[in-house]
Amino acid sequence: MSEFNSRMAAQRRIVHLVNGTSKGREELFGLSRQAIDRWIIANGIDAESRLVDLIRSAASRIACLATKSQEQVSEDYRALVQDIDAFAIQIETELG
């Protein structure tokens, strides 16, 4: 899988996990800051909660790879998969 496709798959994994588990009024549309902010407001979620912190951290972890230099990227993508696994487990726990 290309690095680009890996990044998109990581986003999909987090978004699906959140939307598949939480039954809010409006789904999480994406992992941009604005999309997360909208999801928080639309569903009356505590912006300071651990769940929100984990989602923002996962989003930030994925986004930072987009502008890194090519030399760093190959190594980082292996780490990304592990990190997203870890975020997914913690998010799943928070969603109960």
Partner 1 sequence: MSTHIYAFGSVCRGDVSLDSDVDLLAIVDGRDERFNLDIFSVYSAERIHALWNEGNPFAWHLALEARLLFSTEPTDLLSCLGNPKPYQKCADDCTKFANLFDEAHGSLLSQTSSTVFDLSMVFLSIRNIATCFSLGITEQPTFSRRSALELGRDSTPLSEQAYQVLERARVLCTRGYGPGLMRTETQAVLGELPAVKEWMTNLVRRVEEHE
44: left (phi over 0), alpha (psi -120 to 50) or beta: left
Return the SS3 of 95: helix
* Closer of 33 and 78 to partner 1 (Cβ): 33
Report which of 64, 3, 70 is spatially closest to residue 31, judged by C-alpha positions.
64
* Closer of 28 and 54 to partner 1 (Cβ): 28
* Closer of 1 and 86 to partner 1 (Cβ): 1
Q: Minimum CB separation from partner 1 for residue 47, in Å?
A: 14
Contact residues for partner 1 (CB under 8 A)?
1-2, 4-5, 8-9, 11-12, 15-16, 19-20, 26-30, 32-39, 63, 67-70
CA dihedral 68, 70, 71, 73 (to 10 degrees): 60
Report which of 27, 15, 2 is spatially closest to residue 87, judged by C-alpha positions.
15
> Which stretches does DSSP call E strand in 35-84?
none
* Closer of 14 and 54 to partner 1 (Cβ): 14
Q: Minimum CB separation from partner 1 for residue 52, in Å?
A: 14
Q: Minimum CB separation from partner 1 for residue 38, in Å?
A: 4
